[in-house]
Structures are given as C-alpha cells and as structure tokens.
Structure 1
C-alpha cells in the first residue's frame, strides 16, 4: 500500500504562460521590438524606420499582442500631433528575463562539446 502523503501528481505545462512564450517566439518581430525598446526606441514610427521589412500594420499587431499579455504598455500623450510611446511593464521585465535565460540555454545546447 502506497502512503498517500508521498504520492506525486502528474505535472502539466502551465497553459497560459506556455501559450504566451509560444506566441511571442512565434511572432517574428517581437524579439526585434524588445531590442528596439531596450535601445530607447519606443515610438512606432521610429521603430518602422529603424527595421527594414517591418510594416506599420505588422508592428501594430505585434504591439497589440504584447500589450494583451501585459508585457508592454502604451502611453498616449494628449498632444497634436498625437504622440504614442511603448514601454516594458514590470511583468514584461520578468518575462524578458525568462526569454534571456531561454536564449542562454539554446546557446549551451548549440555549443560544441
């Protein structure tokens, strides 16, 4: 007879966070956007001008996905002409740290030896 206190239940992947990582990595522009933000480029027009092949439509879709997950936040300034800037949230900082760790793990896996 197995002691009930020593039983371990089957572990499953965290559904929401796994979907979030998959969606962000699946978006070919998300990592580029994070890199731009890290360099202080936080306005959409400037992002499009800095990255060859990035369209406004695709950028807006990428930014929207990241805002839905709570990784990025949008600041709209009450000015004319309108000014919009994006930034990484506190949660986003944690998430980006995890992505950095995944990249390090990939580099270890790719290293010869």
Structure 2
C-alpha cells in the first residue's frame, strides 16, 4: 500500500516521518526551536556548520510540512522569525526519545544530559 502527502508518495508511515524530520539539520532545527521563537541568524549561530542556503531549504521544507511557522514582520530591514507549530510540538516526545537514545549510546550520565529546553522549563505553546 502507498500513501500520498504533499505530492509525495510513501510506502509506510515511518518513511513519511523520516521524510519530514530526517537528515542532519531538521532534527537539530526542531531541537533549537522547541524552547521558543528564533530568528534565522540565531538558528545559524546555534547550528555550526550549516550554511545559509541549506538552513533556508530545511526551514522551508519544515514549514511546508506544517511543523515550523515562519513569520515575516514588515520592518526595514525585514525581521523573520521561526517557531515550532502545535503540530510540530507533537514531535517533541520523538526528539526527547532520540536524545535519550543518543545519551545512552554516548554513555553520558542521564543527569548531565541535555534536555529539550521546553521540557526543562522553557516556553510552552
């Protein structure tokens, strides 16, 4: 059986999920947005190694999938902010599970492991 979403065809739900959050940058973008709104330059600073073109592409894909919201303010120069959507927040347990798995894999003491800022008392939607 196949499934179609946003003009893309998937053979199973896991394939669809990985299409939305897969890759090197998308999970990290979501991780950094889970504590609140960020400007493009903030995200770029928090993601060493990502170039502007790749960050723009990944943010656009996340926006197209309804996971990230882009807000443009009519100012000079224009101010653009990104936030995780309510639908995107449904991914936070997945992100926490990935963090827990990575913590275990790396042999990091759980008490010292990083947590999603929203889980650590950050901003809630």
**Which TM-score bucket, shorter chain as reference?**
0.5 to 0.7
Matched ranges for 1:6-21 at <5 A:
15=10, 17-21=13-17
**Structure 2 residue 60 is the aligned partner of structure 1 residue 64:** yes
* Cα offset, 1:70, TM superposition: 0.5
Larger strand fraction of residues: 2
Relative contact order, higher structure (CA 8 A, sep 6+):
2
Matched ranges for 1:1-113 at <5 A:
15=10, 17-40=13-36, 42-101=38-97, 104=100, 106=101
Q: CA-to-partner distance for each residue in 1:7-42, whole Å, 9 max, x for gaps?
A: xxxxx7975743332124432101111122134461
* Cα offset, 1:57, TM superposition: 0.5
CA distance in 2, matches of 1:39, 1:90: 13
RMSD: 3.1
Is the CA contact (8 Å cut-off) linking 1:41 and 1:47 kept in structure 2?
no
Normalising by structure 1, we get a TM-score of 0.68
Q: Structure 2: give runs of 5+ residues left out of the alignment.
A: 4-9, 106-125
Normalising by structure 2, we get a TM-score of 0.62
Q: 1:47 to 1:103 in 2, by over 3 A?
A: closer
